[in-house]
Amino acid sequence: MASDRNDQNGLSRREFTTRLGTAAAGVVIGSDLFGAKATAAPSVSRRILGANDRVVLASIGIRGQGNALKRGFAKLANVEHKTLCDIDANLAGERINRS
């Protein structure tokens, strides 16, 4: 007759699950007893100075979706599109002139 013991220590899945649940409950209760409290992150200044004043972008592949992204980012404040790259030199020249 097969035993319901599943591992080398003779622990069944049911016993393992019960012990795991008991241990997890102990950890949760223990953290409450020892004062582990959640705290809010410190406030961050709305104005970040220095190099973080703008975003500099480079685009690889400027057909279709890449061009739509380029146009969308161009509408945002403090965004500079520094580099455009495409394997089609004619397309790249056309898109660079439109920027």
Where do the domains of the chain lie?
Answer: 50-98
Q: What's the predicted TM-score (pTM) here? A: 0.40
Q: Output 50-53 pairs: Cβ under 8 A, ≥24 positions apart.
A: 53/78
Q: What is the pLDDT along the chain (99 residues), one digit of tens a residue?
A: 445 556 666 778 888 888 888 887 777 666 555 555 555 556 655 665 566 778 888 888 878 888 888 888 888 888 888 888 878 877 766 766 665
Please give the helix or strand (H or E) that residue 57 lies within, else none: strand 55-60
Number of other residues whose CB lies within 10 A of the CB of residue 62: 22
Q: How far is CA 43 from CA 36, 39, 40, 46, in A?
A: 21, 12, 9, 9
